[in-house]
Amino acid sequence: MPELPEVETIARGVHERVRGDRIVQVWFSSAPQTFKTSASRQSKGLAGRAIVAVHRIGKHIVCELGSAAATEPDAQWVIHLGMTGRLLVTTPDASVAPHTHARLSLASGRELRFVDPRRFGRLEFRTLSKSDGFRASGADPLSIGSKDFAALFHGRKLAIKAALLNQTLLSGIGNIYADESLFHAGIRPGRAAGRLTRTELERLRQALQTVLEHAISLGGSSVSDYVDANGVRGFFQLEHCVYQRTGELCRRCQTPIRRILLAGRGTHFCIRCQR
């Protein structure tokens, strides 16, 4: 499943390629869908609108749409990639991948395509006059400040690892980045979130942002099948310090990395570097 850095990378890539473009024609496959908005309503809403900007909110990609490229957005197309979803910018003559569910023809001649073999992805069309803009359930880990970050965990008895994965607290942190950031912050994943000191929490916030930014700079690090906005595979594998390195030696102190189950998830840490 794409994690936050992958989604950020895709959103940036799509933004660079389609910002200012106009959607001239919309096609949806006739396969039964579990979209949040019906294909017919999406088609009607998308056709004719300009793409003002594309950005990430939580683990969603949000296309801000308007009557013209320079206007205030009046609608949004919200994409969640699910397990296997891909958002591609192609030329119209590019061969259509199996499991292509949506094709948006743009005035520039390009196409924006949504491909999803396992169909856990979600597409939603929102008119901003009728509803508020799309919001993630939790705070954004990349932009949250130290005070708000500390407040999220105040008085919480659950393990810090579980708290990091709780999407109502922070949006978009998956298993890889939870384990890696706890390692960089030197914090044991099983410690009660509410028991961390203000200094530890600040170390964790900074570690989280550093690890995420680093992954974004490398173009994401998903271990699963992954394709960028152009349809090109080849994201770098992040040099993980603990994640899925059970039994291998800690890069810092040479102690074997341990794996435990926490909140039902495999959790990797160094018993010596993390306290």
First CA to last CA across the chain, in angstroms? 30
Nearer residue to Zn ion within complex by CB, 204 or 270: 270
Q: How many CB atoms lie within 10 A of CB 184?
A: 21
Nearer residue to Zn ion within complex by CB, 68 or 271: 271
| Beta-strand pair 265-269/258-262 | antiparallel
Specify the stretch interacting with Zn ion by CB under 5 A; choose among 2-10, 94-102, 165-173, 245-253.
Answer: 245-253
Q: Is residue 189 flagged as an active site residue? A: no
CB of 272 to Zn ion, least distance (A): 5
SS3 26: strand
249 is an interface residue for Zn ion by CB under 5 A: no
Cα–Cα distance for residue pair 173/170, rounded to 1 Å: 7
Q: How many CB atoms lie within 10 A of CB 1?
A: 17
CB 119 within 8 A of CB 82: yes
Among 181, 250, 262, 269, which residue interacts with Zn ion (rule: CB under 5 A)? 250
CB of 270 to Zn ion, least distance (A): 3
Cα–Cα distance for residue pair 215/185, rounded to 1 Å: 17
44 is an interface residue for Zn ion by CB under 5 A: no
Among 225, 252, 256, 266, which residue interacts with Zn ion (rule: CB under 5 A)? 252
Contact map string, positions 200 to 239, toward Zn ion, x by CB under 5 A: ----------------------------------------
CB of 160 to Zn ion, least distance (A): 18
**In what side-by-side order are the strands of the sheet with 60-66?**
50-57, 60-66, 75-80, 122-127
b/e burial code for range 47-65 (CB count within 10 A of at least 16 → b):
eebbbbbbebbbbbbbbbb
**In what side-by-side order are the strands of the sheet with 86-90?**
23-28, 100-106, 111-115, 86-90
Q: Is residue 2 flagged as an active site residue? A: yes
Catalytic residue (one of 22, 49, 56, 59): 59
Cα–Cα distance for residue pair 169/141, rounded to 1 Å: 9
253 is an interface residue for Zn ion by CB under 5 A: yes
Q: Is residue 265 flagged as an active site residue? A: yes
Specify the stretch interacting with Zn ion by CB under 5 A; choose among 1-9, 65-73, 147-155, 249-257.
Answer: 249-257
Q: Is residue 191 flagged as an active site residue? A: no
Specify the stretch interacting with Zn ion by CB under 5 A; choose among 25-33, 36-44, 99-107, 251-259.
Answer: 251-259
Among 118, 154, 198, 272, which residue interacts with Zn ion (rule: CB under 5 A)? 272
Nearer residue to Zn ion within complex by CB, 17 or 184: 184
Which residues carry out catalysis? Answer: 2-3, 59, 265
Q: Which residues bind Zn ion (CB under 5 A)?
A: 250, 252-253, 255, 270, 272-273
